[in-house]
């Protein structure tokens, strides 16, 4: 893991190190490329693979889903691809009562938090009898993607589904290639209406365009690998998506009072996700930097996923020694991290200066996993520097706004001349005529 001091290195070099790769810059490993060559008969890029799958599912529907699931996952789809009610019952038997209770506790916190976000429809009078307003309308049907992969994420089910339920979405369908018992139980707690046993780019295409068995959705949310993310980008415009997310990341601002044990543990909490995950500390103390690096090595040895975490730290682990906290904040705002922890003596003093972050964790007893699982705020956050323009997934993700306009004849006549002038200035005579006909 690199340790660098801002006194001894050009700012441009620090910014280069703080710049994460975008989701579409992720390179396929030689192993994955070799597997893909066997499936597709040639060495295709990730986007070429995704486009081939998405276009085929759009054209052939369920037949393409069956073919691609067999080719890629080695699974023969049967029936209507759905999880039966009996499978939910069986899943609950494999979930420890304490874990079930923890999921219900998390779900309640998530519901309560997101209920506070609900916006309201409104109308305001213009003149005596004319009005303007805005209607807040929930989406009709939302698709949630839940990955299989090396770990199951029931927490992501809760985080993606519950805000949609709070928003009033009528129907929620879920696609997942791995019917893990914890995922199924979380889906039941959150209120998913139907689950399809399909993964990858083919699942995204099926939800975006609809097939004989899978209904078309208005929006797709949920995490996934590079193929899932590129598929979401490919179908955007046919339906909406939440965001284009890359590997997980954390940035910690730490002063000389921070505990190196806590900082190292929090770095590793993200590193264990993925070899591409990014863990950064910016500290004002060179001594603390060395202690954190040593703690990372010590704690790594005891992690079950240490190979993944070690690869992440080796590739994307970084500690920057800043001149002062203002410089640390400046670097953090440039990086725009998914998760930002303030491990400082007075974190609330720094809060007004933070401009770009997916979620901010204030103080040593507010570690990132608190937000991942139980506190209530959503853990679906912008990555790769996109916190400069993306927001955390929230209730408004599942709502749309419709304008309301109602004028009386008198109010329209009062505005008519200005409307006609503007329409004719744009060369749109029929617009002007639509007003003149009412004069």
The catalytic residue among 114, 182, 273, 339 is 339
pLDDT value of position 151: 67
Percent of the chain whose pLDDT exceeds 90: 87
Tokens of 380: 């679906």
Where residue 22 falls among pLDDT bands split at 50, 70, 90? confident
Given this model, what pLDDT does residue 146 score?
Answer: 94
Can you list the domains of the chain with their CATH numbers? 2-16+246-388 (3.40.50.1980), 30-73 (no CATH), 85-243 (3.40.50.1980), 410-436 (no CATH)
**What confidence score (pLDDT) does residue 154 get?**
95
Task: Please answer whether residues 56 and 72 qualify as being in contact, where contact means their C-beta atoms are separated by less than 8 angstroms.
Answer: no
The residue written with tokens 């805000």 in the block is: 163
Measured between alpha carbons, how far is 132 from 109 in angstroms, rounded to an integer? 36
pLDDT at 24: 72
Alpha helical stretches, state H, 141-199: 154-167, 181-190
Q: Confirm if 3 and 321 have CB atoms less than 8 A apart.
A: yes
For 137, phi and psi rounded to 5 degrees?
A: -125, 125
Structure tokens at 123: 């109308």
* pLDDT at 359 exceeding the cut of 90: yes
Give the residue with greater pLDDT, 354 vs 245: 354
Q: What whole-number distance in Å separates Cα of residue 360 and Cα of residue 341? A: 6
Q: Is the pLDDT of residue 346 over 70?
A: yes
Average pLDDT across the chain, whole number: 94
Cβ atoms 218, 240 nearer than 8 A: yes
Split at pLDDT 50, 70, 90, the class of 284 is very high
Chain segment 310-319, per-residue pLDDT in tens: 999 999 999 9
> In whole angstroms, what is the distance from residue 107 CA to residue 376 CA?
8
User: So what's the pLDDT on residue 242?
Assistant: 95
Least confident among 24-33, 85-94, 272-281 = 24-33
Tokens 């996923």 -> residue: 305
Mean pLDDT of 60-78: 93
Catalytic residue at 338? yes
Confidence of residue 20 (pLDDT cuts 50, 70, 90): confident
Average pLDDT over residues 131-140: 97
The per-residue pLDDT for range 150-190, each reduced to its tens digit, is 667 899 999 999 999 999 999 999 999 988 999 999 999 99
Q: Provide the pLDDT for residue 28.
A: 80
The reported pLDDT for the residue numbered 149 is 66
User: Of these residues, 338, 341, 364, 368, which one is catalytic?
Assistant: 338
CA-based angle 310:257:286, to the nearest 5?
A: 60
Cβ-contact 351, 362 below 8 angstroms: yes
pLDDT given for residue 296 in this prediction: 97
- Inter-residue contact 394 to 377 (CB < 8 Å): no
Distance of CA 35 to the CA centre of its chain: 28
Q: How many CB atoms lie within 10 A of CB 394?
A: 17
Ramachandran region, residue 81 (left: φ > 0; alpha: ψ -120 to 50; beta: rest): left
- Taking the chain, what is the end-to-end CA distance rounded to the nearest angstrom? 74
**pLDDT band for position 18 (50/70/90)?**
very high
Whats the size of the chain, residue-wise? 439
What is the model's pLDDT at position 25? 72
**Residue of 249, 211, 216, 244 lying closest to 230 (CA atoms):** 244
Average pLDDT (298-324) is: 95
């Amino acid at each position: 893991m690199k340790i660098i001091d801002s006194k001894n290195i050009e700012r441009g070099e620090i910014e280069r190190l703080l710049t994460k790769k975008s989701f579409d810059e992720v390179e396929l490993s030689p192993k994955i490329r070799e597997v893909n060559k066997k499936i597709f008969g040639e060495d295709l890029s990730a986007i070429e693979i995704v486009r081939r799958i998405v276009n085929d599912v759009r054209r052939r529907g369920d037949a393409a889903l069956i073919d691609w699931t067999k080719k890629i996952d080695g699974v023969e789809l049967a029936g209507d691809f759905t999880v039966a009610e009996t499978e939910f019952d069986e899943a609950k038997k494999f979930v420890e009562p304490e874990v079930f209770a923890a999921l219900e506790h998390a779900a309640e916190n998530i519901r309560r938090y997101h209920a506070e976000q609900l916006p309201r429809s409104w109308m305001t009078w213009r003149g005596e009898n004319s009005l303007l307003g805005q209607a807040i309308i929930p989406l009709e049907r939302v698709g949630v993607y839940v990955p299989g992969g090396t770990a199951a994420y029931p927490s992501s089910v809760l985080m993606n589904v519950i805000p949609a339920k709070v928003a009033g979405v009528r129907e929620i369908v879920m696609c997942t290639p791995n019917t893990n018992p914890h995922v199924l139980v979380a889906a039941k707690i959150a209120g998913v209406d139907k689950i399809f046993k399909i993964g990858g780019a083919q699942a995204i295409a099926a939800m975006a365009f609809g097939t004989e068995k899978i209904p078309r959705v208005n929006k797709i949310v949920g995490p996934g690998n590079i193929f899932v993310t590129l598929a979401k980008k490919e179908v955007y415009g046919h339906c909406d998506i939440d965001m284009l997310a890359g590997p997980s990341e954390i940035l910690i601002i730490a002063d000389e009072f921070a505990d190196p044990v806590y900082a190292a543990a929090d770095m590793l909490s993200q590193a264990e996700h993925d070899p591409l995950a990014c863990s950064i500390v910016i500290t004002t103390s060179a001594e603390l930097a060395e202690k954190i690096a040593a703690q990372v090595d010590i704690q790594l040895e005891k992690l079950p996923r240490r190979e993944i975490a070690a690869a992440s730290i080796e590739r994307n682990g970084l500690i920057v020694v800043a001149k002062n906290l203002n410089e640390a904040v400046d670097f953090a705002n440039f990086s725009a991290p998914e998760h930002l922890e303030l491990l400082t003596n007075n974190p609330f003093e720094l809060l007004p200066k933070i401009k770009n972050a997916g979620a901010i964790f204030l103080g040593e007893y507010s570690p990132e996993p608190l937000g991942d699982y139980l506190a209530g705020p959503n853990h679906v956050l912008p990555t790769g520097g996109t916190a400069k323009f993306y927001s955390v997934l929230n209730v408004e993700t599942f709502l749309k706004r419709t304008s309301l306009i109602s004028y009386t004849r008198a109010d329209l006549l009062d505005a008519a001349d200005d409307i006609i002038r503007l329409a004719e200035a744009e060369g749109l005579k029929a617009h002007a005529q639509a007003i003149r006909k009412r004069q």
